[in-house]
């Protein structure tokens, strides 16, 4: 998956480069900065002392030393005032320049913290949106796997209205279906017990009579059915790409799918994707709810109101919002699997 939100300790990420939310001195500090310096060891500080600091919105690079990552890209995020002093532009620059430098060094995997969202005070939901927007724009033109690393739930927040709207939608759909089931269970439990004479076992004659039937000529019918087999998931996907006037690259990048997986799907007419992958392509193609259901059936799946993941997907489709990165933000906030490979 080209862009993934994960809950982890960034110092333990096995990637080509991790990004450090540093201060201008580059000499270490609190939070992520301090954790990275402690994990990397004294060699990191010694190299940082040679760099002459770093301005807000800019980047510098060092080795990873004792970290699993080969490089540490240091960037200085803005201190949030009121959002009217160029904070957003500076924060965008942190992500954009970090990605450009990672590409220059040949990195295939990069992990970011949520820059400026800690002691620098940038509102977490806004900081997340800036990160998603800049990274997703970069990935539309470049091949790289990028992680946004969240240390814990307290470090992560989507917009309050969006969260409450989704929670209400889940409640309206999820609870109703389970309430119906509960009512049916209560009704069945309220029925009087069946009389003993009505629970008698079938006699041998009853069983033989039931089984006394002629064998049906199944082979011919089965052959006829198999000749009428419907198009596969792969065939429908490629047909829809053509109908939408998209290129293959546009489709798999919008789906948050990497090129290797798409090549497998294209070359195998009987490829069976996972449900998140199938839905990712439905979102990329901006399919209606009915079309999405049809595509899922090709892969052997269906949407269900007994599944929060499915209800959240349905919510975004019903709202006409096909931004897969915003959908993944919401899925992560509700502890669900993300869309993509």
Cβ neighbours for 128, distance < 8 A, ≥ 6 positions apart: 114, 117, 148, 156, 157, 158, 329
Measured from the Cβ of residue 64, the count of other Cβ atoms closer than 10 Å reads 21
Q: What is the DSSP string of 170-225?
A: HIIIIIHHHHHHHHHHHHHHHSPPPPGGGGPPPPHHHHHHHH--PPP-HHHHHHHH
Active-site residue flag, 205: no
Between CA 191 and CA 296 the distance in angstroms is 39
Q: Which of 16, 33, 125, 258 is catalytic?
A: 33
Cβ neighbours for 152, distance < 8 A, ≥ 6 positions apart: 7
Q: What are phi and psi of 233, to 5 degrees?
A: -60, -50
Between CA 95 and CA 59 the distance in angstroms is 9
Q: What is the DSSP string of 117-141?
A: SSTT---HHHHHHHHHHHHHHHHHH
Between CA 153 and CA 333 the distance in angstroms is 8
> Residue 58 is encoded by which pair of tokens?
């800019």
Mind telling me the catalytic residues? 33
């Amino acid at each position: 998956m080209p862009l993934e939100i994960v809950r982890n300790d960034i110092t333990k990420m096995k990637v080509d480069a991790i990004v450090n939310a540093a201060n201008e001195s580059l000499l270490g500090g609190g939070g992520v900065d301090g954790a990275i310096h402690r994990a990397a060891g004294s060699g990191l500080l010694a190299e940082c002392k040679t760099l002459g600091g770093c301005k807000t919105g800019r980047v510098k690079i060092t080795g990873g030393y004792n970290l699993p990552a080969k490089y540490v890209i240091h960037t200085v995020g803005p201190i949030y005032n009121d959002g009217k002093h160029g904070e957003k532009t500076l924060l965008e620059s942190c992500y954009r320049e970090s990605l450009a430098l990672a590409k220059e060094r040949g990195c295939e995997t990069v992990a970011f913290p949520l820059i400026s969202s800690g002691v620098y005070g940038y509102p977490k939901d806004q900081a997340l949106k800036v990160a998603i927007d800049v990274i997703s724009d970069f990935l539309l033109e470049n091949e790289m796997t990028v992680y946004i690393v969240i240390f814990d739930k307290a470090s992560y927040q989507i917009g309050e209205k969006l969260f409450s709207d989704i929670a209400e939608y889940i409640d309206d759909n999820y609870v109703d279906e389970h309430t119906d089931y509960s009512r049916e269970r209560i009704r069945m439990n309220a029925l009087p017990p069946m009389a003993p004479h009505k629970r008698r076992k079938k006699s041998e004659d009853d069983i033989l009579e039931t089984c006394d039937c002629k064998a049906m000529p199944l082979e011919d019918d089965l052959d006829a059915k198999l000749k009428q087999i419907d198009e596969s998931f792969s065939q429908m996907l490629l047909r829809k790409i053509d109908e939408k006037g998209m290129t293959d690259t546009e489709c798999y990048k919008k789906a948050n799918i990497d090129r290797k997986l798409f090549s497998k799907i294209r070359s195998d007419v009987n490829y069976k994707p996972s449900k998140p992958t199938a839905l990712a392509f439905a979102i990329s193609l901006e399919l209606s709810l009915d079309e999405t259901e049809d595509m899922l059936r090709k892969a052997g799946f269906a949407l269900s109101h007994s599944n929060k993941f499915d209800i959240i997907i349905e919510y975004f489709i019903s709202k006409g919002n096909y931004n897969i990165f915003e959908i993944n933000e919401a899925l992560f906030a509700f502890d669900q699997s993300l869309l993509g490979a």
